[in-house]
Amino acid sequence: MAEQLGFTIRQWNVRPLDFILSLIAALGGDGNSDTQADLHRKFNELTGLNVSYRSWANQAKKEALPALILWLWLQCLEIFSRKVMAFDESSPFSEFEHILIQDGSSQAVYDALNLNSAVERH
């Protein structure tokens, strides 16, 4: 996807996966990453490379980087939300029936919760 979005045009030492993983590690880590230089240091630390700041910064300033990060985020949401929201037949939770609730965030009542429609069905 990095190639399709234009993030990777030529293969350099700063590979997309390493770059993204180092951003995640630096930004989600101990909170000591306040500058781009901190992110660059984390990249070199994680990859074991000695990439110059300029080479790293050239990757960081690409217009395709936000699109790549957004695409990765959406992929993660799709993969992990399905696992959380759905139970397959092998799950111990598959034995339970779904419970419908109304959270009160809208004026309309979900049809399955409407007493009149529930009586009509039975």
Span 25-44, pLDDT tens digits:
888 877 778 899 999 999 99
Query: How many whole angstroms separate alpha carbon 64 and alpha carbon 40?
Result: 18
Number of Cβ atoms within 10 Å of the Cβ of 93: 8
Indicate whether this model's pTM tops 0.85: no
Q: What is the structure's pLDDT at 83?
A: 64
The pLDDT, as a whole number, for residue 40 is 92
Are the C-beta atoms of 40 and 13 separated by less than 8 Å?
Answer: no
Does residue 14 surpass a pLDDT of 80? no
Nearest-angstrom CA–CA distance, 21 and 65? 13
The mean predicted confidence, pLDDT, of the chain is 77
